[in-house]
Amino acid sequence: MSQENREHVPASRVVWRGTGKTHKGLVRSTNQDAFAALDQFNLWIVADGMGGHAGGDVASRTAVETLSSWGPAIAQLDKTGHLNVPPQGKRAKTLRDAIQTANEAIRQQALTQPQLANMGTTLVVVQIAPGLSDDAFASAIIAHVGDSRAYLLRERVLTQLTQDHSWVEEKIKQGVLSPQDALAHPLRSVLTRALGTEAAVEPDLSSYPLQRGDRILLCTDGVTKMLSDGEIAETLLRAGPSAEAACDALIAEANRRGGQDNSTVLLVQAEPL
């Protein structure tokens, strides 16, 4: 189908699909990332087990599996809330509850298995409510903890939708560090918030109205440490409309630039039924 015809497909005749890829990179011996593309629930998840901590792969997998089990409940809520759903809405509350349940599951495993002590994970989630008309195409709620990110690609412009929960991000906000200095700072991987590290976790939630042609990218810091936002955008655009080609290209480019960490990407876009 041509791009012109694709743009004129009614909102009620599209489905949101996610395509994900993961790679251990060129330095790490294991892959502690995990992801799930639950198109049937309009729910997509990426997690990054805390590097250097025992059980990082267990923590990320537990987070993804727990959130996945909440898919039916999340998808049933606020079906008519297809515009800019506020963070206080039922969908957002259910996402918070799901994330807290994942946090508790990780901590419980660590309590019963001493070798998993101090494990944790980042998490970034997007859930989309399809619109009921062309004027209300769709809305997305994004929840995240840690430094895995969500981006929006709209009309060839890439916008970061999440802010990292990291030591360097806090210093940038305080004006102590510049974004350029933060890129090479020795503490750039230190997180200020993660699942599994505290009894309670508070995700950041935000909502966005979506337009035709929008693409949402979820990724771990194995991508963002290797590629700038501009390089991510350039790679996506160069790969064209194929989500699979775009995911392959992002991981290949991250590895070409050193592959210092596991890299995971999940690209979500609307396609005709």
Q: What is the residue-level pLDDT of the chain in tens, covering all 273 positions?
A: 444 444 556 666 789 999 999 999 999 999 999 999 999 999 999 999 996 667 999 999 999 999 999 999 988 875 544 344 555 678 889 999 999 999 999 999 999 998 998 899 999 999 998 876 666 789 999 999 999 999 999 999 999 999 999 878 787 777 777 676 666 666 677 899 999 999 999 999 999 999 999 999 999 999 999 999 999 999 999 999 999 999 999 999 999 999 999 999 999 999 987
Amino acid at 206: S
Amino acid at 76: Q
d(CA 49, CA 266) in angstroms, rounded, equals 16
Element of type H or E holding 43: strand 43-48
d(CA 28, CA 259) in angstroms, rounded, equals 9
- Domains (ranges, CATH) in the chain? 3-158+194-272 (3.60.40.10)
